[in-house]
Amino acid sequence: MYEAILRRLYFDIIYTPFQDKYDESWDEGLFWDAIDNFKTKAAQAKIEDPLVILRKIGFKSYEDIRDIMEGPPKCFREGWRSEMLSHTVDIGSVLDRCKLVAGTKYEGIEKIVALDFWARWCAPCIEAAPELSKLAEKYVGQVAVVGVNNEAMFEDKEHDVQKLKEVLEEKKDDFRYTSFIDTQNHARDSVYNPCGYQGIPCLILLVNNVVSYVGSPGEGFERALSNSLDAVAMEREE
């Protein structure tokens, strides 16, 4: 309950008023006034330390929020690297707390896994699906592509399992890989938020459960996948 309240306060008091002020309209004083208002509202909601919850969505400090709001998020700037790189994620445990909605059950056979975090309302997510499907089919047995849908990725929204199944059925020619719905927000909170990427689609590439790439589909992901395939091939030769 407290997390939902705090997320709403964050979006209403900080994110929405400042999200487009990346140029000369940025006002440092107004930002810190908003932070003071945010803290006051949080205290009124009996949330003693808002940062405890804000850290769950990737913020280490109020200065960190300022740096993000003052310009394009760090994850979209050149040279950004997720702090989750080289960290281990128990993929099976994460997906056990999600609900399978399409495709086959994840068995953990493949050494390489690409988690695709997406939402129905995200047009780029829908556009990325056909290429991810081709990738899954090209590297069948080597790479598992697993969709993780969450309509509440950035704010509280209802998880509608039936609606998602209908969408996946309608677009079954595009989504030809296994898909889960993150009904408990566990994958969001334990994997997506800590990765530091603030957009979707978000691909998290893992080799033997170790994170090797975090970001959007595209050249960066393709290079990381190629490197991962080479690394796994070398393992087999040894």
pLDDT for res 27 = 78
How do residues 70-105 score in pLDDT, each as one tens digit?
Answer: 666 778 777 889 999 999 999 999 999 999 999 999
> Which has more confidence, 37 or 5?
37
Q: Which DSSP string do the residues of 4-38 spell out, in sequence order?
A: HHHHHHIIIIIIHHHTT--STT--HHHHHHHHHHH
**pLDDT (mean) for 173-177:** 97
**pLDDT (mean) for 109-133:** 96
**pLDDT (mean) for 168-182:** 97
**Confidence at 59, pLDDT banded by 50, 70, 90:** confident
Rounded to the nearest 5°, which phi and psi values hold at 178? -60, 135
Q: Report DSSP state, residue 106.
A: P
**pLDDT (mean) for 24-45:** 85
Half-sphere CA count of 35, side-chain side, radius 13 A: 16
Specify the pTM. Answer: 0.72
Highest mean pLDDT, choosing among 61-65, 66-70, 176-180: 176-180
pLDDT for res 72 = 64
How do residues 191-206 score in pLDDT, each as one tens digit?
Answer: 999 999 999 999 999 9
**pLDDT (mean) for 40-56:** 85
Task: List the structure tokens of 136.
Answer: 């899954």
Rounded to the nearest 5°, which phi and psi values hold at 179? -130, 140
Q: How far apart are CA 74 and CA 78, in angstroms?
A: 8
How do residues 141-168 score in pLDDT, each as one tens digit?
Answer: 999 999 999 999 988 888 999 999 999 9
Is the domain spanning 91-237 CATH 3.40.30.10? The answer is yes
What is the chain's Cα-based Rg? 19
Does the structure show a pLDDT above 80 at 62? yes
Rounded to the nearest 5°, which phi and psi values hold at 24? -70, -10
Half-sphere CA count of 209, side-chain side, radius 13 A: 10
Q: How far apart are CA 10 and CA 14, in angstroms?
A: 5
Domain layout of the chain by residue ranges: 2-71, 91-237
